Amino acid sequence: MTAIIDVDHLSKTYDSGTKALDDVSLTIEEGEIIALLGPNGAGKTTLISTICGLVVPTGGTVRVGGHDIRTDWRAARKMIGLVPQEIAIELFETVMNTVRFTRGLYGQRPDDAYLEQVLRSLTLWDKRDSLIKELSGGMKRRVLIAKALAHRPRVLFLDEPTAGVDVALRREMWQVVRRLRQEGVTIILTTHYLEEAEEMADRIGVINHGQLLLVKPKAELMGEFGKKRLTIELYEPLDAIPPEITADRALDLSEDGRSLGYDYDTRAERTGIARLLADLSGAGIKVRDVSTKQSTLEEVFLDLVDEDEHAQEASEPMEKTA
Ligand SMILES: Nc1ncnc2c1ncn2[C@@H]1O[C@H](COP(=O)(O)OP(=O)(O)OP(=O)(O)O)[C@@H](O)[C@H]1O
């Protein structure tokens, strides 16, 4: 695969003094779907807006298809489509005219055959002559995608594509995005829905305080940071875990004393499960059932952000309490 976007040591400090991006470097391969996760105010929109040339960086460079977004912005922008967070479109215009107009804005020749293909792929073709104000919220969102695709970009940015959208519509949007990827469009999306990233992304980037904490293939992220929890149900309740069992293990006993919880790292060469079960048996503790649960992306994400918060706190100078 070849890199279509190359972000190198990008920084942005707004005039207000807010440091929204702090030395972000990121390479995005052609044809992938990458999800950017981060809490409110982490810098996701700023990163997208800077790559799209809407926000001027205070440091670093961005190249899109080899074109620098500042010195060669016309060529860079042609390759990009942006679906913004807010629905802001002319309500008294038809769907078809809306996308035609956007194509014109990019200085491209009319190409109704291509726009028909776009509207069909977004199941908007039947609505081509409807006014935007007559459409449902989900259809309006799809018009935003159609607009972003009107000039045939190779990279599509989706800023929280399903914020405030119901579950059925969210799944529909996911299908739309997958279809676009099949057509070869590279997709960068920001989301607050971990399920969305888990469902769709090839790679996941986590942003906090303007810094890119990591970017990893989804499977690797889940495997590397994922922990598993083993639950051991007991025949007889325990008042406390015998000391010879606790040893140096991360074990906990449920309130009713009927089950033991054991957290282990999926990366570890030895999980210690066999030894734990042997020790339980040796102590005469009979096991009724065992089950395991893999941590979700949500838990992995919260752990990462939490770790970063602690690291930030530790690096901040202590306030004087005079
Ligand atoms: N135009 C602006 N002027 C000044 N500060 C801004 C501007 N836009 C964003 N910020 C600040 O920069 C930081 C990053 O904001 P940004 O919108 O990029 O975060 P985000 O991760 O997209 O957040 P959310 O998930 O809430 O959309 C925040 O502290 C925000 O208040």
Alpha helices in the chain (DSSP H): 44-51, 73-78, 95-105, 112-121, 137-149, 167-182, 194-200, 218-225, 243-246, 273-282, 297-315
CA angle 145, 41, 18 (to 5 degrees): 120
Q: What is the pLDDT of residue 267?
A: 65
Element (H, E) at 6: strand 3-13
Q: Find the 69 Cα to ligand 1 centroid distance in Å.
A: 21
- Give the integer Cα–Cα distance in Å for 139 and 131: 11
Burial class (CB in 10 A: 0-12, 13-18, 19+), 270: exposed
Mutational pocket test of ligand 1: of 10, 13, 14, the residue with most ligand atoms within 8 Å of the beta carbon: 14
Indicate if ligand 1 lies below 6 Å from the C-beta of 46: yes
Q: Find the 64 Cα to ligand 1 centroid distance in Å.
A: 23
Indicate if ligand 1 lies below 6 Å from the C-beta of 16: yes
- Give the integer Cα–Cα distance in Å for 207 and 39: 8
Q: Which residue has the tokens 């810098």?
A: 43
Q: Report which ligand 1 atom has the smallest distance to the Cα of 14.
A: 4
How far are the Cα atoms of 37, 56, 190, 209 from residue 40, in angstroms, in the given order?
A: 10, 21, 11, 10
DSSP state of 86: S
Indicate if ligand 1 lies below 6 Å from the C-beta of 51: no
Q: Is the ipTM of this complex over 0.85?
A: yes
- Give the pLDDT confidence of 88-104 residue by residue, as tens digits: 778 889 999 999 988 88
Q: What is the pLDDT of residue 137?
A: 81
Indicate if ligand 1 lies below 6 Å from the C-beta of 14: yes
Q: Which residue has the tokens 């400090």?
A: 13
Q: Which amino acid is at 163?
A: A
Q: How many CA atoms lie within 13 A of 262 on its CB side?
A: 24
Indicate if ligand 1 lies below 6 Å from the C-beta of 42: yes
Give the closest residue (by CA) to ligand 1 atom 30.
41
pTM over 0.80: no
Q: What is the pLDDT of residue 225?
A: 64
Q: What is the pLDDT of residue 121?
A: 82
Indicate if ligand 1 lies below 6 Å from the C-beta of 209: no
Give the closest residue (by CA) to ligand 1 atom 23.
41
Q: Which residue has the tokens 């899109």?
A: 64
Mutational pocket test of ligand 1: of 36, 45, 209, 301, the residue with most ligand atoms within 8 Å of the beta carbon: 45
Encoded tokens for 17: 């003094």
Q: What is the pLDDT of residue 243?
A: 87
In which residue ranges of the chain is pLDDT below 70?
1, 87, 164, 223-226, 266-269, 295-297, 316-322
